[in-house]
Amino acid sequence: MKVLKDFDLKGKRVLVRCDFNVPLTAEGDILNDFRIKKTVPTIEYLIKKGAKVILMSHLGKPGGKVVENLKLDKVQEKLMEYLDLSVVKARDCVGKEIKDWIERMAPGEVLLLENLRFHKGEKENDPKFARALSELGNIFINEAFATCHRPHASIIGLPKYLPSGAGLLLEKEIKSLTRIIKKPERPLVAVVGGIKFETKIKLLDKLQELCEFELIGGKFTLEILKRKMEKYLSEEVILTKDVYVLEKNENLILRDIRDLKGDEFIPDIGPETIKIFSKRIMTAKTIFWNGPLGFIEKERFRTGTRKIAEKIIESGAYSVVGGGETIRVLSGLNLLHKFDHVCSGGGALVDFIVDEELVGVKALK
Ligand code: 3PG
């Protein structure tokens, strides 16, 4: 797979697939700009090398038509703030108007195309759409690790038409996650939390193969116990012991998880669990963490997640953390920069660990 430094970029039109799919408020404001910030080094590298930089991304799920509040205007503002230069945004992502504009661009200038998913061809991987995109550039750089599990036109279609390679972020994501999968310094300990159990089962299974110990958050522990899933009732799988239960009258009580019926709302892990998890974390040489350990929407339920984050940092182990919610809470706690690698992917992260490959990465090879 080629990377940025393998290309002669001077004066070239470089099409960069980014993942600017950031969480938004109901008013359309950006809740967390981590993914935008993470692409800045690649954009700055391209500017320095004298390339014409053409950025593209999806945002949300507009379903193949223009959706006003999924336009990339807010992303454009953020880019201008971080790059400290003016970034022009196109009205669409393909077509003559854009081609003409690019023709007139000077080296070092940056153009942002409009949301790729306003066209059905993106999701359907329509070769006509991929070709239309390819006509805008001389080189394709994939910087969208978080979308590399999607077989879409801008991910797997474009490399068929243009010399292609990975951006700095994609390169680092692959290196860091490969280190977890292939050659972690041992013991390797995984911490898995979150809400959607079904979407994480394959990750739990794979991590059970890879790790010495797997620490499981409250909601998932409850599911495992409820379904009597024998394969997770082993010594290497460390389940949550105690949790807080929020009762209907808003009372918060501490309970042993094995005493619960299974339908309770458990907003955080308890002190005994924090103690057991912390002990294991302190023995680790490598730690992989995906999914918060409590209901992080409310600040008062972030204690378990914060304490485990602090322990991971204190352990000095090589740490990789990922998943949208986890990033959001750690960024709010101002702890994100203390991890060795923060993965920008959600679904892509799970698929990369499980399958050890992603369609978008394969397409670059
Ligand atoms: C993500 O947020 O996981 C990626 O941007 C992919 O988005 P999608 O789930 O809408 O395809």
In the chain, residues under CATH classification 3.40.50.1260 are 4-171, 184-354
Amino acid, res. 283: T
Termini Cα distance of the chain: 5
Number of H helices, E strands in the chain: 13, 15
Residue by residue, pLDDT tens for the chain (365 residues) are 999 999 999 999 999 999 999 999 998 999 999 999 999 999 999 999 999 999 999 999 999 999 999 999 999 999 999 999 999 999 999 999 999 999 999 999 999 999 999 999 999 999 999 999 999 999 999 999 999 999 999 999 999 999 999 999 999 999 999 999 999 999 999 999 999 999 999 999 999 999 999 999 999 999 999 999 999 999 999 999 999 999 988 899 999 999 999 889 999 999 999 999 999 999 999 999 999 999 999 999 999 999 999 999 999 999 999 999 999 999 999 999 999 999 999 999 999 999 999 999 999 99
Any atom of ligand 1 within 6 Å of the Cβ of 19:
yes
Instruction: Say yes or no: CB of residue 171 within 6 Å of ligand 1.
Output: no
Residue 219, both tokens: 């909601």
* CA 19 to ligand 1: nearest atom: 5
Q: Which amino acid is at 23?
A: P
Task: Say yes or no: CB of residue 347 within 6 Å of ligand 1.
Answer: yes
Could you tell me the two tokens for 258?
């094995």
Read off the pTM: 0.95
Going by their DSSP bridges, the two strands 139-142 and 110-112 should be labelled as: unpaired
Strand order in the sheet with 242-246: 252-256, 242-246, 268-269
Integer Cα distance of 297 and 287 in angstroms: 25
- On whether the CB atoms of residues 342 and 32 are closer than 8 A, the answer is no
Q: Which CATH architecture has domain 184-354?
A: 3-Layer(aba) Sandwich (3.40)
Q: Whose CA is nearest to atom 3 of ligand 1?
A: 346
Q: Which CATH superfamily is domain 4-171 in?
A: Phosphoglycerate kinase, N-terminal domain (3.40.50.1260)
Q: Which atom of ligand 1 is nearest to the CA of 347?
A: 3
Query: Rounded to 5 degrees, what are φ and ψ at 290?
Result: -140, 120
How far apart are alpha carbons 116 and 229 in whole angstroms?
42
Strand partners, 119: none
